[in-house]
A and B are shown apart, each in its own frame.
Chain A
Amino acid sequence: MLHILRARLHQQYRTYPFPEKKPVLSQRYTGRPLIKGDGCVTDCSACAQVCPVGAISRSSAGKPVIDLGRCIFCHACEAACPAGLISFSSEFALATSNKEDLIVNSDKFNIASALPEEYKRLFGRSMKLRQVSAGGCNACEADCNVLNTPAFDLARFGIQFVASPRHADGLLITGPVTQNMKLALVKTYEALPSPKIVIATGACAISGGLFRDNPEVNNGVGDIVPVDLYIPGCPPNPWTILDGMLRLMGRI
């Protein structure tokens, strides 16, 4: 007993006061990309060529456009752009309510908004989620799991990952939705009582990520079930996931 108490004293209280205080991520962390206005070199596609997931295209105005739904934040484009138009900031708040909002072509970003009032009344103070990995590589899963540790202490926000879809208000999906998991995903979604919400977490779940267009996968959740929150990243940082959830609940 004494050794347990001694360890308790040693380990201290480590829960981070989020969202009141913003956590500091590693110096090399690559968060939300910022794209500068002018100077894109004509006939240059250096950024698109180095992108492993085809997340970059050029807008009609001749500017790079990044789809954060596909982006794995490897920031290869940053070094490749001869005009230095692309840079990755340390901003980790990346979740959006709509897929279109994931398309970034400037320094502006339309971050996720709270659920409609009726949903917010139901889920704003208590949100139980069922997690389904549908081809996830265990990185997104691990960064969801970590939210249960004392550092994040997910339960203090009334959010909990539950064991059965029958107990859940929403589904948090990871992975590109393999052909072999599609049916199980749909059945799990159907087993959730209505009204229900869906969170697509990670590049795979949003767009198929690195597996996009493989015949073995479905390019993410797509139209298989309706999505209420998109959390980009490969994998998203745990703070990105938590931030997105709290925005959805109207608590940030």
Chain B
Amino acid sequence: MKKHAKIKNSAMVNIAAVQTVDNQQFKTDLAAFVADGCRISAMFLLPGADQKVIYAAVSDDRDGSISLLATPCQKEFASLTPDMPQAHWFEREIHEIHGIEMPGHPWLKPIRFMPAADAKEEVLPGVTSYFEVSGEEIHEVAVGPVHAGIIEPGHFRFQCHGEKVLHLEIELGYQHRGIERAMLRGQPHQNRRLVEVIAGDSTIAHSIAYAMLIEALHGLKPDKSAELVRGVALELERMANHTGDLGALAGDVGFLPTSAYCGRIRGDILNTTAVLCGNRFGRGMVSPGGIGCSFDKTIADTVLERLVPIEADLRSAISLIWNTPSAVSRFEETGCVSRADATAIGLVGPAGRASGLPVDIRNSHPFGAYRKHKPEVPVGRNGDVFWRARIRWLELKDSLRLIREMLAEVGDVAVAPAFSLPAAPDSMAIALTEGWRGEVCHVAVTDKSGRLLNYKIVDPSFHNWYGLALSLRNQEISDFPLCNKSFNLSYCGHDL
């Protein structure tokens, strides 16, 4: 294998140091990385003045490194997907944005229905060819974009034989707001806010990733206490969403006590985030260089005080479900994703861990406060709804521990001062964080004057939507709400 640039999490490298190799070498080396257990965290095309280059960022969970591979590409690029299924969505994205043909890709079609730069005709979302099963007694169920609940839009097509789902195809893109392009136009005070709404329920995870990139590119070093406060906010975000999900899972199997209690407790956790910054979703909490709102001992004490009843209520509400066999049996053996499939498609976060993949960026590529405060990384056995629920509960309890540990060490923090422009020129920086859904990856590339040339965002949902499709194979269609909730993926995080 050729030697490729290798960096740590939240580091930067001069773009010239990421040397391009030919397409064949790129493919061979990337395949070697993936065969060795590494994961593709990001893959994108950078349209340069003289040539287009495809970059891949490959994370090694054993030594916490990120290898950067690059290869030139003109109009065509032989698809990697047949050998590396985890490249499939990235290749579809590159095809959609840049019009690159990918011979060999088994299912090359848009993922977002973006209006292409040179499009002559209107792009209609969801209007495309779908995988179809045919035969006697085969029928198709189409759902969305507008769903029955208070939920974001997406289109789902089930190929069914009776109640049995042979295949589910998910088409998204309805939420596409053009965030990556807007980042290139935005000023720092706007971009800082824009990353907070990539996925509203993952405000902290995305804003920490952005802050880490800006810090790498500007040579800023956040204060240790500021990093602890960020860690506390990230764990509160994880707790709120895991609580909401456990409640919703209980609701989906008709077990209403846990559902009702968790809905309220989730609110109590969001209100604890509001103690830190005034906003329930952590808007304004993180700022490049540190945090966006001051922090002191009174706040730390208030958070600790609030966690006491929250923990008691959580234990009461959630132990109910584990002690109710009729509810648990509905979770078990529903929507299984095998470890082999999870590895092949590159599942991340609790969904990956439920299938037995011990991937957690807080542990493998530690950032900020996690360099010292290590999470436990529970893994499941068969990737069913039960394990996706169970992992959430184990993580919830661990988040409580982490928050208390971090708050025991934290000191007062002032608001991060404004930083000077511009950033390091001709550089590429990469940041990984572990949001409640899994790995959040941001990659920034600057031009020769230090301005943002490219901003790539990979929400964990980008990796995991296909996992949901796989979980429905040979399940009953009535299992869909339960499977869907057990992944609870972001539509806007995917659509950007």
Contacts and interface: CB of A to CB of B under 8 A. Distances in A.
A123 B246 CA distance: 34
B178 A214 contact: yes
A180 B178 contact: no
A30 B267 CA distance: 18
Nearest to A141: B150
Given A50-B189, A138-B152, A180-B113, A3 B200 contact: no
A210 B197 contact: yes
Given A3-B320, A26-B271, A180-B175, A164 B263 contact: no
B161 to A, nearest CB: 26
A215 B185 CA distance: 12
Interface in A137-164: 137-146, 148-151, 161, 163-164
A161 B150 CA distance: 8
B153 A134 contact: yes
A146 B277 CA distance: 20
A234 interface: yes
A246 interface: no
Interface in B185-203: 189-190, 192-194, 197-201, 203
B150 A179 contact: no
Q: Which of A27, A148, A181, A216 has the most CB of B within 10 A?
A: A216
A25 B281 CA distance: 14
Given A7-B320, A178-B176, A138 B199 contact: yes
B148 interface: yes
Nearest to A203: B197
B177 A176 contact: yes
Nearest to B172: A180
Contacts of A137: 197-200, 492
B471 interface: no
Given A141-B150, A146-B263, A151-B267, A216 B177 contact: yes
Interface string B289-305: 00001000000000000
B313 A74 contact: no
A144 B159 CA distance: 33
Contact of A135 (B149, B175, B182, B260): B175
B151 interface: yes
Interface residues of B, number: 64
B177 A28 contact: no
B492 A135 contact: yes
A180 B284 CA distance: 29
Contact of B177 (A11, A146, A217): A217
A217 B490 CA distance: 19
Interface in B228-252: 244
Contacts of A25: 274
B425 interface: no
Given A178-B177, A181-B153, A210-B194, A26 B274 contact: yes
A29 interface: yes
B146 interface: yes
A168 to B, nearest CB: 12
Nearest to B277: A28
B278 A211 contact: no
B312 interface: yes
B323 A3 contact: yes
Contacts of B281: 139, 142, 235
Contact of B200 (A139, A146, A214): A139
A87 interface: no
Contacts of A96: none
A237 interface: yes
Interface string B267-282: 1000100111111110
Contacts of A8: 257
Contacts of B149: 131, 145, 161, 163
A97 interface: no
A41 B316 CA distance: 57
Contacts of B490: 138
Contact of B190 (A3, A52, A178): A52
Interface in A223-239: 234-235, 237-238
B153 A11 contact: no
Contact of A139 (B153, B203, B324): B203
Contact of B175 (A29, A30, A175): A175
A215 B192 CA distance: 20
Contacts of B151: 133, 141
Contact of A140 (B114, B192, B200): B200
A136 interface: yes
B39 interface: no
B210 to A, nearest CB: 14
Contacts of A27: 275, 278
B101 to A, nearest CB: 24
A217 B320 contact: no
Contact of B145 (A74, A142, A184): A184
Given A141-B152, A151-B267, A216 B194 contact: no
Q: Which of B114, B148, B278 has the most CB of A within 10 A?
A: B278
Contacts of A183: 124
Nearest to A175: B175
10 residue pairs, one from A and one from B, having the closest CB atoms: A139-B200, A28-B278, A149-B263, A137-B200, A216-B178, A163-B148, A26-B274, A180-B125, A137-B197, A138-B200
Given A4-B320, A164-B148, 13 more contacts: A7-B261, A8-B257, A11-B264, A52-B192, A141-B151, A143-B280, A144-B150, A146-B263, A184-B145, A209-B197, A215-B178, A216-B114, A237-B280
